[in-house]
């Protein structure tokens, strides 16, 4: 039990969070399907959650965020669910009105 977490540090978790965040940002930038953009947002929120949980983990550091990290991660999960519901409603409305889901075609508000 003494060598439980001898080698894994907070930095390793932060690196995984960084990979999830960057892939999410690139999804948001490159996808043309509105639902693909939504999936990029989910990946970004999940990368942030990995960071919160890692900084609150009692196994990785002596002084941590404690359960505040877990609680903020829970709030992020709930907000992600709410955001997905609204974004999906907007995407469906857009699809019903324009018969397409391509975000590049959404240029009604272009000046």
Partner 1 sequence: MTLLGTIDWYAWFFGLFALLASVFAAAVLLTNNIVRMAFYLTLSLGATAGLFFLAGAEFVGAMQLMIYVGGTLVLLVFGVMLTAQATFIVMRPRSGEWVAALLAGSLLLGLLIATAWGVRPWREPRPTGALALAEGQSATAVGAALTGVRVDRLGDPAAPEGPSRTYSRSGYLFPFLIVSVHLLVVLVGAAYLARPRVEQPVRAEGRSP
Scanning residues 1 to 30, which ones bind partner 1 (CB under 8 A)?
A: 1-16, 18-27, 29-30
Q: Chain-centre distance of CA 81, in angstroms?
A: 11
Number of residues this chain uses to bind partner 1 (CB under 8 A) = 80
Cα Rg, the chain, nearest whole Å: 18
Provide the mask over 35-74, with x wherever binding to partner 1 is found by CB under 8 A and - wherever it is not. Answer: xx-xxx-xx--x--xx--xx-xxxxxxxx--xx-xxx-xx
User: How many residues make up the chain in this entry?
Assistant: 111
Regarding 98 and contact with partner 1 (CB under 8 A), the answer is no
* DSSP letters for 5-48: TSS--HHHHHHHHHHHHHHHHHHHHH--BHHHHHHHHHHHHHHH
Residue 100 tokens read as: 């397409």
Q: Nearest distance from residue 94's CB to partner 1, in Å?
A: 9
Regarding 105 and contact with partner 1 (CB under 8 A), the answer is no
Regarding 82 and contact with partner 1 (CB under 8 A), the answer is yes
Beta carbon nearer to partner 1, 101 or 106: 101
Sole binder of partner 1 in the list 33, 48, 98, 110 (CB under 8 A): 33
Shortest CA distance to 25 belongs to which of 75, 87, 17? Answer: 17
């Amino acid at each position: 039990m003494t060598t439980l977490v001898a080698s894994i540090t907070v930095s390793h978790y932060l690196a995984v969070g960084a990979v999830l965040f960057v892939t999410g940002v690139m999804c948001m930038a490159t996808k043309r399907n509105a639902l693909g953009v939504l999936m990029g947002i989910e990946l970004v929120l999940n990368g942030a959650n990995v960071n919160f949980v890692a900084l609150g983990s009692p196994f990785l550091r002596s002084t941590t965020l404690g359960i505040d990290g877990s609680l903020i991660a829970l709030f992020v999960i709930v907000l992600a669910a709410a955001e997905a519901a609204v974004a999906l409603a907007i995407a469906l409305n857009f699809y019903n009105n324009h018969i397409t889901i391509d975000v590049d075609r959404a240029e009604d508000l272009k000046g």
